[in-house]
Amino acid sequence: MGISDKDMADAIAKRDTAENINTRLTVNLGLKERIAGTPANAMIAPPPVQRASYTVTENELQSEAMVAPLSAVVDMWTVRWGGEWVAEKDILFDDFWRLVLLRLISTNKVEKHYKINQEGLVYRIVE
């Protein structure tokens, strides 16, 4: 009795997914953190950071954030945050600002960087 092709494919996919996640966390984040109570050489990668969704629905296309003139959207961002860097986590769960960010990204009106010490993206309006 042997293993079926489907079971083998599933096992390989599961292994590859786990390895890819650990590799991406180690390489992309460039940091590991120590778990309390473990030996000094025992390190683990931090959990993945939740990312904002950059897709829109038909209803979202009709929202204020998407139908307002782009100049008004830029002004709203500037009034809200000025020229400061804004963490993605501050925008993630607010649909209005997520859609504003989507518009600004798609028109190259914001710059973004990955901030290693806070494990997340930050955005700033391009002036």
pLDDT tens for each residue of 15-36: 766 545 444 444 434 444 444 4
Q: Is residue 53 part of a domain?
A: no
Look at the block and give the residue holding tokens 């390190």. 43
Q: In terms of domains, do 84 and 114 share one? A: yes
Boundaries of domain holding 25: 5-44
Task: Provide the domain count of the chain.
Answer: 2
Q: Give the pLDDT score at 116.
A: 78
- Contact between 98 and 91 under an 8 Å Cβ cutoff? The reply is yes
pLDDT tens for each residue of 91-111: 888 889 999 999 999 899 999
pLDDT tens for each residue of 39-86: 555 555 555 555 555 677 888 888 888 999 999 999 999 999 999 999
Q: Give the pLDDT score at 44.
A: 53
